[in-house]
Chains A and B, each alone.
Chain A
Amino acid sequence: MTDSLSRAPLKPAAARGAPLISVRGISKRFAGLRALNGIDFDVAQGSITSIIGPNGAGKTTLFNVIAGDEPPTSGTVMFDERPLIGLAPNEICRLGVSRTYQSVRPFFGLSVRNNVLVALLYGRRAVPARGELDERMAGILEFVHLAGKAERRAEQLTPLDRKRLELARALATEPRLLLLDELIAGLTPTETGEMMDTVRAINASGVTILLIEHVMKAVMGLSHTVIVLHHGEKIAEGEPQAIARDQAVIRAYLGDAATAVIPADT
Chain B
Amino acid sequence: MDIQSVLQLVINGILGGGVYALAALGLALIFGVSGVLNLAHGEFLMLCGFVTFLGYDRLGINPFLLVFLIPPVFFALGYGFERILIRPLALRKEHVRLASATLVTLGAALIFEDVASFASAGTEFDKSIGYFIGSLTVGSVVLPSLKLIIFGLVLLLMAQLAWFLKYTYVGLAVQAVTQNARGAQLSGVNTATINGVAFGLGTFLAAAAGALEVIHSSVSPLVGLPLTLKYLCIIVMGGLGSFAGVALGGLIIGLSESIVGYFTPAWGQTVAYLLLVGVLLVRPKGLLGR
Contact = CB atoms under 8 A, between A and B. Distances in A.
A binds B: yes
Interface of A: 108-109, 262, 266
A7 B280 CA distance: 57
A262 B188 CA distance: 11
Contacts of A109: 93
Nearest to A263: B186
Contacts of B217: none
Contacts of B183: 262
A266 B186 CA distance: 11
B93 A108 contact: yes
A156 to B, nearest CB: 14
Query: Interface on chain B toward A: helix, strand, loop, or mixed SS?
Result: helix
B93 A262 contact: no
- Category for how many chain B residues contact A: under 10
Contacts of A266: 182, 186
A111 to B, nearest CB: 16
Nearest to B182: A266
Contacts of B187: 262
A262 B182 CA distance: 12
Contacts of A262: 183, 186-187
Contacts of B93: 108-109
A266 to B, nearest CB: 8
B258 to A, nearest CB: 36
Contacts of A108: 93
Nearest to A261: B187
A252 to B, nearest CB: 24
A70 to B, nearest CB: 15
Interface string B248-290: 0000000000000000000000000000000000000000000
A266 B187 CA distance: 13
Contacts of B186: 262, 266
B188 to A, nearest CB: 10
A266 B180 CA distance: 12
Interface in B74-96: 93
B254 to A, nearest CB: 31
Nearest to A155: B93
A266 B93 CA distance: 19
A188 B162 CA distance: 50
A56 to B, nearest CB: 13
